[in-house]
A and B are shown apart, each in its own frame.
Chain A
Amino acid sequence: MDWHFVFSQALTQAIGPTMLVYALAAIGLNLQFGYTGLLNFGQAAFAAMGAYGLAIGVVVLDLPFWWGIGLGLASAVVLALLLGIPTLRLRADYLAIVTIAAAEIVRRTARATGLSEYTGGSDGMRGFSEPFFAMNPYPSEATWTFLFASMDGGRLKLDFLLFDLQYSNRDLWVMTVGWVLVAFFLVLLGLLVRSPWGRVLKGIREDEEAVRSLGKNVFAYKMQALVIGGLIGAVAGFLFALSRANVQPDTFITDFTFYLYVIIILGGAARLFGPVLGAALFWFLYSFLSQGLNQGIRSGAIPEDWLSATQVGPLVFFLVGLSMVLLLIYRPQGILGDRRELTLDVR
């Protein structure tokens, strides 16, 4: 059994483009759920606003790339206002119901046959990412070797003996942009959550009536958190669309949002670095299990009549779920959380 391959794949995924998409979307959700206590179950819809805003802007409306980005961001703000205005004055669970429904409406609208002229229907859209990759500074043809790093026809390989990391020059560009965005939003949120503004958000999470009784316009703060978290979700959507050079309606299923919650809880809610650590762990675990089981079957270490290759997918989700349960039993505050907070008597 090829452990080198399994580890290499898992670690490549743990810091790769897809992980960055989830990390960004989770950073936005962490502001909403972790700090403000808003139950947004429609982060997938905000990512879809970004992805489809960009794709429709460039492909259908023939706008320049940056206008497409602007359209994606504007759509996310509009969605946040549409969802927030009727629900944020009501009890917390109303937002949860409305956002989960809205996410499905967005996805089903995107895949509707009647609108496929504008959205590409269930096939999705492509042909909007060229301007992004035209900015790619990593050459596609270079070949060199330096210590443990080597470049072969634009493919970077970092060899750490026990495992290696390999990325195409397109991946490298997506990752560069993705990590810069992650760093930017972490700095932004770090400043915000340590400010009096962030203190009001945490107060709202604890008890919004108390915060109201202290003269704060709770509705306005919740709306700001929803909009900003949604905008970060849209940025994750850009990265998602660009990293695959296409948009697909079914990447924005509710599962996407649920994984974000897994990631936040794994890393520790209301911890600045929680979403990034959670996303890295999630994708490491996910790839490690899939690749490990596949390798096990291929090498004969797992007998064919125990497990077939088609059963690996569902089993991986079962095992990811099981590890979540174990985490909640043994470390309910998440990796970065503070156990003391959970033992508090919330009366």
Chain B
Amino acid sequence: MSDSEEAVTAEEQPSTVPAGIAAARAALADVPAEPGVPKLDPILNATGVRRAFGGLVAVDVAHLEVQRGAITALIGPNGAGKTTFFNLLTGFDRPNRGEWVFDGRRADRMRSYQVARAGMVRTFQLTKALTRMTVMDNMLIGAADQVGEGFWAGLVHPLWKRQEAANREKALVLLERFKLIDKRDDYAGELSGGQRKLLEMARALMLNPRMVMLDEPMAGVNPALKQSLLEHIKDLREEGMTVLFVEHDMDMVHEIADWVAVMAAGELITEGTPDQISADRRVIDAYLGAHHDAAER
């Protein structure tokens, strides 16, 4: 698509065009805007995912592929099934049926902690900071493959002290980047709502994920922090991570998403670039049908 070049230059990144966004936009440039459309290099490939709560079908997604290295927004009115779909993909809920492959591995039978270890790490719509632990401990608990997390090894400090020191270094770098460095010894429960969102995202990065799933990362965050959250999400793409995030605000989606998938009443009704989606009648109908005000664009 020819307007992908424009989108790149409109970014507020200095001088050179960041490689991540260029690659993501190029990979999605020729993908037609249809629900379930195949991608060049999908990191996630889900088919026939269905979850019903009693008589209510919360999720019934026929097919979805998520392009590796791109930022994909998942939008849809309240109750569309976005959170439920996230829960299914990350092993926090079980589908009635459906299968999906994450990064070359069948993931629909994995437990939530196995999904995280496989490289798909999520955050929650209602932030889950570990409140009576320090910000630093919140970060350290995120690190993967810790020797000292075994019962016997935990008893023997020399076995894990070097790894712990390395994790602490890594945590400090991330806290610096997310502007939480001054809070490192505070309890996470002392942070503001927006800072907790930042902490949750920083903590997820301690696992070196390949795909980050953010459920409404911008909800309840003040405008100043919103901007910095946006920048952090763009940075993830530049580091080669894939991002799938839920968001209501089409302005935000326009600013950072390379691709948009739209859910309504549990189904994937359409996909496309942000421009295609905001011009799509079905999307506007879906939102207006739900008396939602986030689709004014």
Q: B113-131 vs A: 1/0 string, CB under 8 Å?
A: 1101100011110111111
Complex CA–CA separation, A340 to B126 (angstroms): 23
Cβ-neighbour of B154 out of A195, A210, A218, A346 (below 8 A):
A195
Which of A200, A346, A347 meets B149, CB within 8 Å? A200
- Stretch of B30-38, B77-85, B137-145, B279-287 on the interface side: B137-145
* Interchain CB contact under 8 A, B148 and A195: yes
Check if B268 is an interface residue, CB within 8 A of chain A. Answer: no
Q: Which of B128, B140, B149, B189 contacts A210 (CB 8 A)?
A: B128
Question: With A and B bound together, what is the CA distance between A344 and B126 in angstroms?
Answer: 17
A206 x B116 contact (CB < 8 A): no
CA distance A217 to B151 in the complex (A): 13
Q: Does A259 contact B (CB under 8 A)?
A: no
Using CB atoms, name the residue of chain A closest to B132.
A341
B150 adjacent to chain A (CB < 8 Å)? yes
Distance to closest chain A CB from B44 (angstroms)? 17
Interface residue? B237 (CB, 8 A): no
Chain B residues whose C-beta falls within 8 Å of the C-beta of A200 in the assembled complex: 141, 149
Within 8 A of B (CB), among A156-202: 188, 191-192, 195-200, 202
Decide yes or no whether A154 CB sits under 8 A from chain B: no
Return chain A residues, CB-CB under 8 Å to B130: 202-203, 206-207, 210-211
Interchain CB contact under 8 A, A345 and B131 = yes
Q: Are A209 and B155 in contact (CB under 8 A)?
A: no
With a cutoff of 8 Å between Cβ atoms, the chain A residues found around residue B127 in the complex are 347
Q: Check: B187 CB closer than 8 A to any chain A CB.
A: yes
- Which residues does chain A contribute within 8 Å of B141, judged by CB atoms? 196, 199-200, 203, 211, 214, 216
Given contacts A197-B148, A207-B128, A344-B131, contact A214 B203 (CB under 8 A): yes
- Contact of B154 with A344 in the complex, beta carbons under 8 Å: no
Bound-state CA distance A211–B116 (Å) is: 10
Looking at B131, B133, B153, B154, which has the most chain A CB atoms within 10 Å of its CB?
A: B154
* CB contact between B140 and one of A196, A197, A224, A344 (< 8 Å): that residue: A196
Interface string of A83-115 (1 = CB under 8 A from B): 000000000000000000000000000000000
A contact residues around B149 at 8 Å (CB): 195-197, 199-200, 216
Q: Which of chain A's residues has its CB closest to B140's CB?
A: A199
Query: Do B160 and A195 touch (CB < 8 A)?
Result: yes
Asked whether A224 lies within 8 Å of B146 as measured between CB atoms, the reply is: no
B residues in contact with A214, CB < 8 Å: 113, 116, 121, 141-142, 203-204, 206-207
Of the candidates B92, B128, B148, the one having the most CB atoms from chain A within 10 angstroms of its own CB is B128
A4 at the interface (CB under 8 A from B): no
Q: Check B160–A196 contact: CB distance below 8 A.
A: yes
B190 within 8 A of A: yes
Report chain A residues within 8 Å CB of B116. Answer: 212-215
Starting from the known contacts A188-B155, A197-B148, A346-B132, 8 additional A-B residue pairs (CB-CB under 8 Å) come to A196-B148, A199-B149, A202-B132, A206-B133, A213-B128, A214-B121, A215-B121, A345-B189
A-B contact pairs, 9 of them (CB 8 A): A195-B157, A199-B137, A202-B132, A206-B132, A211-B130, A213-B116, A215-B116, A346-B189, A347-B131
9 residue pairs, one from A and one from B, having the closest CB atoms: A344-B189, A197-B154, A195-B154, A196-B148, A215-B116, A210-B128, A206-B130, A215-B117, A196-B149
